[in-house]
Amino acid sequence: MTENTEDFSLGRFFGPTKRGLSLVCAIMAIAAFLMAVYIVSFLFLVLIIFLLFTKKGIEINLSKREYQLYLSLFSWRTYGKAKSVDEYSYVSVLKSNLIHTAYSRTNRSAVTGVEKTFNIVLLGKKQIMKLVIGKFENKEEAIERANQLSEVLKIPYVAYCPQIAKHSD
């Protein structure tokens, strides 16, 4: 990350169910190790590391007005294609409730967790197209960071209020 970039972490790449798979992999790795199948044990350990420590994020180059999505494993990152922020007209903060659900064999569901976050987003002119660029647990911190980003990118900060489309009969 250089001096003219802003880095936003978007959290873990895999959800809690996939991360729970790492517990099963840990049991399998221990069983393989005890049976002296070291290669299989090593492969399970690599899978565990990948499931637990892979994160996603976005890096915004403020001087070039471009953003890149990335995946990171520890300090190693792979970047996507650089895209311009000029297609977005507004910066806003949206509240998000992410509900994690697990299903049983009988297709009954149980809520396993709820994450309440405040997302900084870039919005298009009609406030329909959006790009999530940051997740925060605190509303005030999200609004403060959104205002800072708005000033640097020279994109106005607005309250989210999409226009209602008129339908013709």
**Domain residue spans of the chain:** 1-85, 88-157
**What per-residue confidence (pLDDT) applies to 94?**
85
pLDDT, average across residues 24-46: 86
Rg value, the chain, Cα? 20
Report residue 19 as tokens. Answer: 């991360």
For the chain, the first-to-last Cα distance in angstroms comes to 52
| 46-105 pLDDT, tens digit each | 888 877 788 888 888 888 888 888 888 877 778 888 888 888 888 888 888 877 666 666
| 117-166 pLDDT, tens digit each | 888 888 888 777 688 888 888 888 888 988 888 888 888 888 777 665 45
**What ranges make up the beta strands (E) of the chain?**
5-12, 54-61, 66-73, 76-79, 83-84, 90-103, 109-123, 130-136
Helix (H, G, I), strand (E, B) or coil at 157: strand
Residue among 135, 128, 114 at smallest CA distance from 163: 128
Instruction: Count Cβ atoms below 10 Å from residue 90 Cβ, excluding itself.
Output: 19
